[in-house]
Structure 1
Amino acid sequence: MFSLRSVRRFVWGEVPETKAERTLLLKLDWFILSYCCLMYFTNYLDRSNVSNAYVSGMKEDLHMYGTQLNKINTLFTCGYIVGMIPNNLMLQVVPPRIWFPTMQIVWGVLTFCSSAVKNVEQLYAIRFLQGLSEASTFVGTHYILGSWYKPGELGKRSGIFTSSGLIGSLFSGVLQAAVYQHLNGVDGRSGWRWLFIIDGVITLPIALYGFLVFPNTPITTNAFYLSEEERELAVSRLQPGKDAPKEHSGTGRPTWDLAKRVLSRWRWYGCSLLFAVSGETESFGSNNLMGQWLSATGGYTVEQVDYYPCGVTAVGIASTLVCATWTDATRTRARWPVLVYMSAAVIVAAVCIVVWGSPTGLKFFAYYLAGASYAGQATTFAWANQICADDDQERVVVLASMNMWNNVVNAWWQLVFYPATDAPRFRKGMWAMIGTGLATLLVTFLVWHLERRERRIAARVGTGGRAEDIIEEKERELDEKNVDGF
């Protein structure tokens, strides 16, 4: 029989022992998650609206053809790649309370500009610049979450944050359909142009909210709603050797020592490879393949082409929240089973679609099932936060690199395997998805093995600290005693 505490732990993660910590956690959840989720919501709303605008009149108005939609997405991805690590490192130089909202204002203004483009070349330039500014959001927020929350609290919060972006995608389809119905042609503007105007109007007030309430990091916060005791508790409750040890924690400019630490360990390589591969399982949703399929096969209205793919996102939201809740509630907080579930789902979905003679209902089921791929975002980044919890600066670089390498792959992946000209079948893409699912399983096992080996080494030397640091310290002690070898 479950106790009330067990239920609370399952629904909201690790339950604090003291009233003071519960009050602190409540404040953090309200002010950090409210802003980060709203910020990410507008981020994904803008990203998704390009694909929705494409099937709702933009293609015809801008005389787009061939793979120009893919090129728009690729240029956005290139800007995202270029801005990834610089944006995340800037969070250790400029207060996040300033940096996040400033970047949000930049992409909000650029969204307004998207409503006025006269040709696809102008949209190319705008999307590249938006990629630069939006690169601050995803990995930056995961860095902030890892700075404030314990591992037992982190998965659920990462899941809520990631789901807010998916809600943006879900809302995008609904919004585009509503705009097309009620604003298409108003004031001489097409519905898709009004969509970008509404995006900008939504974005700017949220940026102002961030300037007012975002708390920065535990050791730099001066948030008006936190008392001095709560600020001290925010730092002290993350115990050295467990969640956020003193070494290399805090803020500061990158150094050569940081580069040496990062490149000499398996973490940067393993975590980057994991998301570079597993992130491509989201290709069904991120390229709106279902919308392109419906549009290309014909027989569906513009509103239906906008509405029906929302089911993919809905499955993604449910999968993300359920999986994040489950991983926090387990004693070991193992993240790898979620990646197994996600990989199996996309493999089954791709097989159902690649057999083109399958019924239309089965294809609907397959596209919706593929929404499970979104569950990997929150889980993978919570796992990386957990792996790198003992080195704050390394964590910044690893989180940024994970998303960067995923986007490096994504920049050409969609052009090769999911070009708009392949609609409605996307045969190459379906086979690529099967291979991606299998590769994700292999890399997941590799990261799990390396993390487990690191913990075993640390346990053998009798401490919970990082094994590499323990060995280095032992070597220094032996050198001082002029003892050869180790």
Structure 2
Amino acid sequence: MDSHETGKPGTRPDASKGYSQDPIAVKPTEDGSVRSEDSPPLKRGFWNTVRRHIWDDPDKPEHEKKFLLKLDAYLLSYTCLGYFCKNLDQANINNAYVSGMKEALHMEGSELTYASNVFTAGYVISQLPTVILVSKLRPSYVIPTLEVLWAIFTFTSAAVKTVPQLYAMRFLVGLCEGAFFPCIIYLIASWYKKDERAKRVTLFYSTASLSHMFSGYLQAGVYQNLDGALGHAGWQWLFIVCGVISLPVGVIGYFFNPDFPETTRAFYLTKDEAAYASRRLVEDGYKPLGAAAWDRKKLFKIVLSWQFWVLSLGYFFVQTSHPNGQPFMALWLKSEGESIERVNVLPTGQSAIGFVTQALIALQAGSVLACIILAVWDFPSKALKYFAMYIAYTSSGVPGIYYSWFPDLMPDDHEMRGFLTAFSNVFSYANNIWWTNWLWKTAYAPRFHAAFVATAVMGVVLVLTAFLMHFLQGRDAKIRADREAKEGEGANTRVPNGAESLDPNTHAIA
């Protein structure tokens, strides 16, 4: 196993480029960021205020803007592309099912549900081991390798002849895909500060909706233009094309994934930027990688924390309050006798709404209302049913906001943040197996009465859980402040100025 190489230590930051740690040259600002003495004064105009809310503070110093631009161009673009491909390869089975795969493989009853559960089984198995592994072995090795493997298994899915073979491929795709989401959330939270992170995580998560929308258009186009080409049916071509899209993104990951700030050797970051990356997160109140490293007592400590229980249950509420247990709109359209093209294209409006509401940080209310309407179901207006099926996806934006909250709830433990990001996902997906079997079996289509009732209830429970998390966060912040005051440190948690050294055993700033 390759232990991390340290992030270019031993070099004093270049003061001429704005990285100086001279206490005279660098001053903290009211938002916690660090600006050089000669930074321009804050501009309080309307346009700058808008820009500050939409993306980043336009008054950040030039060296910080340049640094963030690099991170967005490489890390954020790669992670968004990877998550797009992950969800494309996860969702394509639903489009393939309504486009001929059901008939070709003689799928009956709830076998589509069982295929989803097999995927989930593989998905949950890989997450916890991998998120611990990437704190010891470079993420730029682990994650891209798994991406390449799931692209290969997506290709192979086009060749299945029986339902058990489909189950095997879905398990392997899930096994490789499981590590991506928690490891990437962990990675993003390790590079961006509090005022930068939520927007990036939301943008990252929004690509899931785009992939679901694209999968519908892709299957419609593939079915229309490639069905029968080279002896392959349209649904088989969907798996082939998805693999072609995913494979290059996996290869890019070997170069664009920067690892963690403490261990980075990314080609697009200078030595000064690598040192600055670690320092700015510490200055924002977060402990670096290795400051609370894994030992025999750590797991026990995590299990006893409120975060372990509340965050895990909370993400289960997040997932179960979003009615995506089945492609209910596509199944309803198929039962109505719509064409394969319309069955694939019309549900893409749900994903489009999901993408927009994530960008606008919409709350849960639209989805709860939609599920109530769909639970009633029997009303004369078909237009109302369309309306409800579309606005049901307003809750798509919640997971991105939920996970962007994690670093603020666990600022003192880098490894705990990664572990609970994975465990919350594992806990939710594992429980979704019985949740889906109980409420979202394909055999219940297109009505899904009990599922829509339960989903609406979970939406309300999620809102109450968010209030609880906010209360516990405030309580923890007060405890930390009191402890620091007693220790004579006050509110100042910044690292000492001057050159940094790196402990090779812990990878923490010494």
Match of 2:334 in 1: 295
1:279 to 310, 319, 326: 319
Q: Structure 1 residues 204-213 or 14-23, which shifts more?
A: 14-23
CA distance in 2, matches of 1:16, 1:394: 33
CA distance in 2, matches of 1:225, 1:440: 40
| Equivalent pairs, count | 443
CA distance in 2, matches of 1:395, 1:104: 23
2:176 to 115, 128, 133: 133
**TM-score normalised by length of structure 1:** 0.88
Match of 2:370 in 1: 349
CA distance in 2, matches of 1:159, 1:236: 24
Match of 2:67 in 1: 24
Match of 2:419 in 1: 397
Q: Is the aligned partner of 1:309 residue 2:314?
A: no
Does the 8 Å contact 1:218/1:234 carry over to 2?
yes
Task: Report the CA distance between 1:461 and its aligned residue.
Answer: 4.4
Match of 2:281 in 1: 238
CA distance in 1, matches of 2:58, 2:129: 35
Does the 8 Å contact 1:274/1:447 carry over to 2?
no
Does the 8 Å contact 2:323/2:452 carry over to 1?
no
Match of 2:156 in 1: 113
Letter in 1 for 2:234: G
Match of 2:304 in 1: 264
Q: For 1:42-121, what aligned pairs fall within 5 Å after superposition? A: 42-121=85-164
Q: Is the aligned partner of 1:442 residue 2:481?
A: no
Taking a change above 3 Å as real, the CA distance of residues 219 and 424 of structure 1, as seen in their structure-2 partners, is same
Q: Is the aligned partner of 1:320 residue 2:320?
A: no
Task: Report the CA distance between 1:409 and its aligned residue.
Answer: 1.5
Task: Report the CA distance between 1:438 and its aligned residue.
Answer: 2.1
Q: Residues 112-159 of structure 1, C-alpha deviation per residue, up to 9 Å, x if partnerless?
A: 110000001001111111111101111111100110000110010001
Task: List alignment gaps of at least 5 residues for structure 2.
Answer: 1-43, 488-510
Letter in 2 for 1:439: V
Q: Residues 38-90 of structure 1, C-alpha deviation per residue, up to 9 Å, x if partnerless?
A: 11111000111100100010000000000000000001011111111112112
Task: Report the CA distance between 1:2 and its aligned residue.
Answer: 4.6
Taking a change above 3 Å as real, the CA distance of residues 70 and 247 of structure 1, as seen in their structure-2 partners, is closer
SS of 2:190's partner is: helix
Q: Residues 312-349 of structure 1, C-alpha deviation per residue, up to 9 Å, x if partnerless?
A: 111111111111xxxxxxxxxxxxxx6xx21x222211
CA distance in 1, matches of 2:182, 2:311: 13
Say what the alpha-carbon RMSD is for the aligned residues.
1.8
CA distance in 1, matches of 2:480, 2:412: 13
Q: For 1:354-373, what aligned pairs fall within 5 Å after superposition? A: 354-358=375-379, 359-373=381-395
More helix by share: 1
1:219 to 247, 262, 276: 262
Q: Residues 259-316 of structure 1, C-alpha deviation per residue, up to 9 Å, x if partnerless?
A: 13312321121111110111112233x5211111111122x11111101111111111
Taking a change above 3 Å as real, the CA distance of residues 452 and 112 of structure 1, as seen in their structure-2 partners, is same
Does the 8 Å contact 1:272/1:403 carry over to 2?
yes
CA distance in 2, matches of 1:198, 1:156: 30
CA distance in 1, matches of 2:87, 2:213: 9
Task: Report the CA distance between 1:458 and its aligned residue.
Answer: 2.9
Match of 1:180 in 2: 223
2:205 to 142, 147, 162: 162
Taking a change above 3 Å as real, the CA distance of residues 255 and 16 of structure 1, as seen in their structure-2 partners, is farther
Match of 1:326 in 2: none
Match of 2:13 in 1: none
Does the 8 Å contact 2:95/2:344 carry over to 1?
yes
SS of 1:412's partner is: helix
Task: Report the CA distance between 1:26 and its aligned residue.
Answer: 0.4
Q: Residues 173-229 of structure 1, C-alpha deviation per residue, up to 9 Å, x if partnerless?
A: 000000000001111211000000011111111111111222111011111111111
CA distance in 1, matches of 2:347, 2:295: 46
Taking a change above 3 Å as real, the CA distance of residues 446 and 464 of structure 1, as seen in their structure-2 partners, is farther
**TM-score normalised by length of structure 2:** 0.84
1:416 to 438, 443, 448: 438
Q: For 1:419-430, what aligned pairs fall within 5 Å after superposition? A: 419-430=441-452
Q: For 1:243-258, what aligned pairs fall within 5 Å after superposition? A: 243-246=285-288, 248-249=290-291, 254-258=294-298
Q: Residues 431-461 of structure 1, C-alpha deviation per residue, up to 9 Å, x if partnerless?
A: 1112211221222222122112212333344
1:146 to 163, 186, 189: 189
Letter in 1 for 2:352: A
Match of 2:27 in 1: none
Taking a change above 3 Å as real, the CA distance of residues 178 and 247 of structure 1, as seen in their structure-2 partners, is closer
SS of 1:81's partner is: helix
Letter in 1 for 2:342: Q
Task: Report the CA distance between 1:464 and its aligned residue.
Answer: 12
SS of 1:99's partner is: helix
CA distance in 1, matches of 2:355, 2:125: 28
Letter in 2 for 1:180: Y
Does the 8 Å contact 2:287/2:412 carry over to 1?
yes
Does the 8 Å contact 1:458/1:464 carry over to 2?
no
CA distance in 1, matches of 2:313, 2:354: 22
Taking a change above 3 Å as real, the CA distance of residues 101 and 145 of structure 1, as seen in their structure-2 partners, is same
Taking a change above 3 Å as real, the CA distance of residues 401 and 14 of structure 1, as seen in their structure-2 partners, is farther
Taking a change above 3 Å as real, the CA distance of residues 106 and 392 of structure 1, as seen in their structure-2 partners, is same
Letter in 2 for 1:229: D
Taking a change above 3 Å as real, the CA distance of residues 105 and 212 of structure 1, as seen in their structure-2 partners, is same
CA distance in 2, matches of 1:390, 1:348: 39
Does the 8 Å contact 2:332/2:446 carry over to 1?
yes
CA distance in 2, matches of 1:375, 1:464: 41
Does the 8 Å contact 2:262/2:289 carry over to 1?
no
